Amino acid sequence: MVTAEIVYPLAFPKNTSYKCEICDKPANRVCKKCHCTYYCSEEHQTTDWNGIHEKICKSLEDLRKKQVFLLSEEERREKDRETRERKINLMEMTRMIGQRHLFQERYEQAIPAALSSLKLAVDVYGPKSVDLIPSYLILAEASLGLKHLGQCWEYLSQAQYTVLQNPNPPLYITSKLYRNLAQLNIARKDYEEALRNLANDVYDASTYYGTEHHKVAGGYFLLGKVFKLLNKLEVTDSLYKQVSDMWYTHLRKLLESRVVWTDMDQILGKKEEEEVPSSAKLDLSTEAEAHITLQTLLSYRQETSIKQPDQLELNKINHAISILHFLSRDYTKVTETMSRITDNQLTEIDEDQALMIKFLNQLGQMRALMKKQQSSL
């Protein structure tokens, strides 16, 4: 729940001013929970709360409150190191949430999350670091989603300028920049420039991650979209097949790792972090991207299958979606999606389905047993 206290700028100590978290204008209200985040209006406070502040209010309070003076230099260095680490973790979390808002087309909510991550990045790395670029790109994409093309270009220009200030920017950064530039080109219907930027995106992402990595799939997906707009459907068909294969392979690998740690382990009190390596986890932004991409591919295949059915491709996409529901623990949708798979010719799909069904049956039995034990107490 959004709560605030009204503040009066004239009552601030001399040479002290507080700016709105969203627009940087002079503030006249402060969050009543953390007492360290300021706003110029109720509208901006509500926007920030819904976008990110509700999730990070306590963390910001801990970071922004006045620190106790430590006597020894060693203690101060250790405190600085811990604070920096907490800021980095919070920056990564806010970026991930902002990215998830984007994939779910909640553009207004993505902006506060990206602004929070940008401020933390400036605080940790300085105003000229390439580590600021992912935040600029989220802001650009959110602006594009809101049809604010001029604002989108401003953020992308800032990202480009930051890249130029660094002699060897990481390829995963330049890949994202090219992809965002291509999205703006598509919105402006400059398809030739979009194809050029997407070619650079795919090249840099492939060099950094590997040619078959799911992080490259987004570039191919947008290439397919451009060729569809140009009515070159044979090219779109080929590119979309490549995208579905990348997600299909990635999600099957995650499924293999995921079954090491189950909901039964959680019931029994084990901690997931101790059982599953981070590479085997499905983070929020990747989950959201997979949902959007696979649903788009499914719709495309269903439309084109009216004239020329491609049951194998439909089965692979539906299987990838069922794995995604399983990994997201949306178990009610797993069997529903499985039922769409017909005339299956891939034994690996049968094996994965048997694995998931066995897990769901065991989970059901475990929950029923625990419920019975609780009722007998």
- Give percent above pLDDT 70 in the chain: 90
**Residue that finishes a domain, picked among 169, 192, 222:** 169
57 and 84 belong to one structural domain: no
- Joined tokens for residue 32: 């009543």
**Residue 226 included in any domain:** no
**Residue 135 included in any domain:** yes
pTM for the whole structure: 0.84
One-letter identity of residue 90: L
**Residue 51 included in any domain:** yes
Nearest CA among 129, 215, 140 for reference residue 172: 215
**Residue that finishes a domain, picked among 169, 200, 228:** 169
92 and 12 belong to one structural domain: no
Query: Residue range 151-171: average pLDDT?
Result: 94
161 and 102 belong to one structural domain: yes
102 and 156 belong to one structural domain: yes
Torsion of the alpha carbons at 103, 125, 200 and 176, rounded to the nearest 10: 0
Give the model confidence (pLDDT) of 101-124 as tens digits.
998 899 999 999 999 999 999 999
**Residue 71 included in any domain:** no
101 and 165 belong to one structural domain: yes
Residue 189: pLDDT band (50, 70, 90) is very high
**Residue 134 included in any domain:** yes
**Residue that finishes a domain, picked among 14, 35, 62:** 62
110 and 146 belong to one structural domain: yes
**Residue 353 included in any domain:** no
- Joined tokens for residue 241: 């097949």
> Packing angle between helix 149-164 and helix 133-145, nearest 10 degrees?
160
89 and 52 belong to one structural domain: no
103 and 52 belong to one structural domain: no
**Residue 149 included in any domain:** yes
Residue-wise DSSP of 154-196: HHHHHHHHHHHTSSS--HHHHHHHHHHHHHHHHHTT-HHHHHH
Give the model confidence (pLDDT) of 290-348 as tens digits.
999 999 999 999 888 666 678 889 999 999 999 999 988 888 899 899 999 988 888 99
310: DSSP letter: -
**Residue 6 included in any domain:** yes
Q: Number of folded domains in the chain? A: 2
58 and 84 belong to one structural domain: no
Give residue 41's domain range: 1-62
